[in-house]
A and B are shown apart, each in its own frame.
Chain A
Amino acid sequence: MSSPQTTDTSADDFTLAELMVVAASGAFAKDGEVLATGIGALPRLAASLSMLTENPDLMMTDSQAWLLSKPNPISGRSAGDDQAQECWMGFSRIFDNVWSGRRHAMVGPTQIDRFGQANISALGGSYQQPKIQMLGVRGFPGNSISHANSFFVPAHSKRVFVDGECDVVASIGYNPARLPKGYSLDEIDIRLIVTNLCVMDFGGDNHAIRLVSLHPGVTLQEVVDNTGFDLQIEANIPTTTAPTAAQLRLIAELDPQNLRARQLKDNPPGVRAA
């Protein structure tokens, strides 16, 4: 696969999914030699794109049991196809990596609160009887206290960005009230939030969630209206950088069957019609 040239200019024609993949790939740019885990098609594409462009030191698995020198395409593969395996990386070894801190996961929680606490476990009701049982906390508690994490949100709404705390706090965030004895908030490392409307980070005052950029055609008001808590908003919010032609070409090579077109409702264009 070819590397994008730094002289590449932004493409005119791209989908919102591709814009989000490129924005999300930026989360891994300065990570160095860590395991990048993107849960879901678009976060996985984002990590793969970063490994092929900005951060060739990144490590990725085949989503099963092997570490790869070169990311697998996310579509169009058959069982038994060759892949660039460089070492065994079964699930128990993943935890050895997690606890070493040398990992950056990008996950898609059902709920995220103002502290960056996230939930994939259950909604409503009680511990004994939730209204909706979801997945369980999975690896969120261990991931969040061990290594860097970013969030990918395909449908930015108040149902995701909740008022108050998450129904089940599955991952530690920047919440002083829950800070364990002997810890400082600076030991928690939540990086980027990429949604279908904007990019945010935790660079606000006392790790508050801060608006970083708005996707082309999205208004500030729309983000505010769809977020259940106050964001830190600075003057002159830039527009999210459009993908380059080279980035789009790599994304297409990584996803020959266009799985990315099925990840967002109606597969909207990257630049909204005015």
Chain B
Amino acid sequence: MNKLQSSKDAIAAIQSGMTIGIGGWGPRRKPMALVRELLRSDVTDLTVVAYGGADIGQLCAAGKVKKVIFAFVSLDFIPLEPGFRKARESGSIEVMEIDEGMMLLGLRAAAWRIPFIPTNIGLGTDVIVNAPELKVIDSPYDEKEWVAMPALKLDVALIHANRADSAGNCQINSPDLYMDDWFARAAEHTIVSCEELVATEFFHHGDQARSVHWERSQTNSVVCLPGGAHPSSCDPQYGFDVTAFKAYAAAIGEGNFADYRQQVIGADEATYQQAVGGLEKIQSLSLPVY
């Protein structure tokens, strides 16, 4: 089955009011080119689930978001993500604030087609006080109470991989795949952008198939987008772009996101890459040291 699509055709699967999950972590390996395509669409009223960075910030700034399900939204070196912060402090979005591990459990419950997973996470904190979605239940096996972390069912997941073939075999050979496998499994429809499109035979050799972390039936759409994680990092190809993140943060700070959207994000990915210095420059960004 050939799942190769243009980013525009791939993103057409997303409709207003849907719940979407976004892979990556903070400023790391975010499917930002797919997010930009979403910013160019007329889709609105989204519920977004993510270990958030500029993906959530930009979608909030563009007015695409009804609700954010999050544990954090951060760019690490800019700890407080500017677009998200502005949306929160203006009270313009709904939220469900949960623990990082609860999000993993919610994605697993969705992937496993069960309504919830019991956990002690959140007990004794404001997480269970503030989020009406979270129910505390008795156990049939002991005398303690437990949080029933509900399945976080996704209509669509967006993920950026290092390599993929047109059948939907996706390789993540960055040191960390984060929770991307669970985003792919929790979604009805998974769109994967990749740095490099390869023939299926590529995975036949050596241990390349070892870093294919979910089977192709969990991938519905493949988009070839080299540089597609920019300005987030895509280890081992490139690091995150401090200058580009700062330009985005400045645009939010000055109330100029509309201009940023028009002038930087632009009409398509080629225009965007030109605006930020070109693909070669993106691919030469050095990897961060932790």
Contacts and interface: CB of A to CB of B under 8 A. Distances in A.
Interface stretch (A1-9, A92-100, A200-208): A92-100
B200 to A, nearest CB: 26
Contacts of A136: 70-74, 97
A122 B74 CA distance: 13
Instruction: Name the 3 nearest CB pairs between A and B, nearest first.
Output: A129-B91, A172-B124, A182-B144
Contact of A169 (B90, B120, B126, B287): B126
Contacts of B94: 128
Contact of A140 (B91, B125, B286): B125
A25 to B, nearest CB: 20
Interface of A: 62-66, 77-81, 88, 90-92, 95, 98-99, 117, 121-122, 125-142, 144-146, 168-173, 175, 178-183, 188
Contacts of B100: 95, 138-139, 142
B288 A95 contact: no
Contact of B176 (A91, A140, A175, A180): A91
Q: Does more than half of chain A's interface fall in helix, strand or loop, or is it mixed?
A: loop
A176 to B, nearest CB: 10
A134 B123 contact: no
Given A132-B89, A142-B101, A171-B125, A64 B144 contact: no
Contacts of B90: 129
Contacts of B144: 180-183
Q: Interface of chain B, helix or strand or loop or mixed?
A: loop
A90 B125 contact: no
27 contacts: A63-B290, A64-B175, A64-B176, A79-B239, A79-B289, A91-B179, A95-B100, A128-B91, A128-B95, A133-B89, A134-B79, A137-B97, A139-B99, A141-B98, A141-B99, A141-B122, A141-B125, A145-B120, A145-B123, A146-B121, A169-B124, A180-B136, A180-B145, A181-B138, A181-B143, A181-B144, A188-B124
Nearest to A92: B179
Give the interface centre of A127, A134, A135, A136 by most chain B CB atoms within 10 Å.
Answer: A136
B102 interface: yes
A99 B121 CA distance: 9
Given A90-B176, A91-B178, A132-B89, A138 B125 contact: no
Interface in B90-137: 90-91, 94-95, 97-102, 104, 119-127, 129-130, 136
B99 A172 contact: no
B85 interface: yes
A133 B178 contact: no
A119 to B, nearest CB: 9
A95 B104 contact: yes
Given A77-B289, A91-B25, A142 B176 contact: no
A145 B95 contact: no
B42 interface: no
